[in-house]
Homo-oligomer: A and B are copies of this chain.
Amino acid sequence: MERRDFLSGGFGAVGSVGAAGAVGAIAGLMPGIASAQDLPTVSWRLTSGFPKSLDTIYGGAEQFARIVETITGGKFKISVAGPGEIVPGPGAFEAVQKGTVQCAHTAGYYFLNVNKALAFDTTLPFGMNQRQHNAWVYQGGGLELLRELFAQYNMVNFPMGNTGAQMGGWYNKEIRSLEDVKGLKIRIPGFGAEIWQRLGAAPVNLPGGEIAAALRDKKIDAGEWVGPYDDDKLGLPAVARFYYYPAWWEPSAALSLYVNKAAYDALPAPYKEVITVATGWVNQWMMAAYDSRNPAAFKKMIGSGTRLQLFPNTFMIAAYRAGFSIYDAEAKVNPAFKKIYEPWKRYRAEINEWHKTAEAAMTNFLGNWRAEG
């Protein structure tokens, strides 16, 4: 048998396991022979919904592009653009849907005007913490439900980053009771804003970069962003005294990579796996980055006169009740919301029953006893 015949015979014999498997088998038998199926050169554009000044959150997309390029030996390149460079931040969803860009790094809860069910991609007030959200998407059926939703918009979604539990923001008056919420002009978007409004506040939405000036000029009484590291970059500690916690509207906030479906479908299997694994890496990296950068920023603020305050429990409970009543109402009129909400709510209840034992007891003990103590 001539060498050519041997090779084609070999491919035929293992054809049923797919091209990648066949290449592996041949290469294993005959080391040194170049792989027959060379992977294509691919160039993509990614639009990030986050300002470049926020290195942790914007940096996630850069990490992703670097990993994809390194693993593929430079064959799959992704160029990362900030908001406004290709499309503005709020245009990211449509840009992916229509194929203007191949992918975007943003968060579902910025697009509630498209469908309120997109909130499950990020978080809902009193939803899940970071560990719980990860468990739900990766192993609890969450990703499958979200993929069905995003398919309607011509996209494939991948979790890519999380901020953890956020701080409740910066206030120039104290929140001692529900009475103090009435009339409060607070910068807050999304479902959180709906809940504050139901409790009597006057929520407004502003881009992150405008919060500090609005607080300084007393156009708002309070404003929230993410947590110590990012809030410091936005100049918030200088314009408000009270730093409240926790942001019950963001028990964690997950970010995602949205990929245009046609662009994704055109990729060979190894590149698809690269996207899954690289987005997963960034998902974990960003949480580690926030967890490593927040402590020093937090310490600095507390040392510079910021007054740390816990939201009163009566306020938390009232907000909790308002939240689930808003979700129940949405589920009645929005089948896409209902389809995710019901299994999400069951999953959330069961994981909380478990996490309140060892995990919570340990974390609380560690928080209260210092190594020096």
Which chain A residues have a beta carbon within 8 Å of chain B's beta carbons? 20-25, 27-28, 31, 34-35, 37-41, 43, 67, 69-75, 77, 126, 128-132, 134-140, 164-168, 227-228, 245-248, 251, 268-270, 273-274, 276-278, 280-281, 283-285, 287-289, 291-296, 298-299, 308, 310, 316-317, 320, 324, 345, 348-372
Inter-chain contacts of A27 with B (CB < 8 A): 41, 74-75
Indicate whether A292 sits within 8 Å of B21 (C-beta atoms), given known contacts A27-B41, A245-B358: no
Residue among A285, A352, A354 having the largest count of chain B Cβ atoms under 10 Å: A354
* Chain B: CB-nearest residue to A37: B73
- Chain B residues lying within 8 Å of A269, measured Cβ to Cβ, are 70, 73
- B294 x A354 contact (CB < 8 A): yes
Q: In the complex, how many angstroms separate the beta carbon of A102 from the nearest chain B beta carbon?
A: 16
Further pairs besides A168-B358, A348-B366: 4, Cβ < 8 Å: A128-B366, A136-B292, A165-B362, A228-B354
Question: Of residues A74, A77, A268, A293, which shows the largest number of chain B Cβ atoms within 10 Å of its Cβ?
Answer: A74
B366 & A73 in contact (Cβ 8 Å cutoff): no
Q: In the complex, which residues of chain B have a beta carbon less than 8 angstroms from the beta carbon of A228?
A: 354
A287 partner, pick from B135, B288, B349, beta carbons under 8 A: B135
Contact at A246–B73, with CB atoms within 8 Å? Answer: no
Q: Which residues of B contact A74 (CB under 8 A)?
A: 20-25, 27
Contact A284 B31 (CB under 8 A): no
Given A28-B77, A291-B135, also A349-B363 (CB < 8 A): no
The answer to whether B73 and A39 have CB atoms under 8 Å apart is yes
Given A132-B291, A291-B135, A71 and B274 contact (CB-CB distance below 8 Å): yes
Cβ-closest 4 pairs across A and B: A24-B74, A356-B367, A135-B291, A139-B292
- Cβ-defined contact, B75 with A35, below 8 A: yes
